[in-house]
């Protein structure tokens, strides 16, 4: 069975003319006793953008930074090389 599952998914959206703003909340649960690593892909239309990203882990909110794909990959690989939990 999968280690990590989605236990909650909620979307709040406001449409004003041709502009829509959506707030998506997803809750993931790791039911195992082991640390899990995975990739997260959130598909967006070509002309959409992300303005904010936050992640709450065990009650602590972490602010995300929006990076290019290349910069994010470079940072991730550097952390993994040092054998740290990204």
Residue 86 pLDDT greater than 60, yes or no = no
Could you tell me if 82 and 75 are in contact, meaning their C-beta atoms sit under 8 angstroms apart?
Answer: no
- Segment (H or E) for 8: strand 4-16
User: How do residues 16-67 score in pLDDT, each as one tens digit?
Assistant: 998 888 888 999 988 888 888 777 888 888 888 888 888 888 889 999 888 8
Q: What is the pLDDT of residue 12?
A: 95
Residue 84 pLDDT greater than 70, yes or no = no
CA distance 42 to 78: 23
Residue 85 pLDDT greater than 70, yes or no = no
Residue 78 pLDDT greater than 60, yes or no = yes
């Amino acid at each position: 069975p999968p280690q990590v599952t989605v236990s909650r998914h909620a979307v709040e959206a406001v449409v004003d003319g041709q502009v829509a703003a959506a707030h998506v909340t997803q809750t993931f649960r790791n039911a195992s006793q082991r640390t899990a690593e995975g990739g997260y892909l959130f598909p967006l239309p070509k002309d959409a953008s992300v303005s904010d990203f936050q992640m709450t882990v065990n009650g602590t909110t972490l602010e995300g930074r929006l990076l290019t794909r290349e910069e994010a990959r470079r940072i991730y690989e550097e952390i993994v090389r040092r054998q740290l939990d990204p």
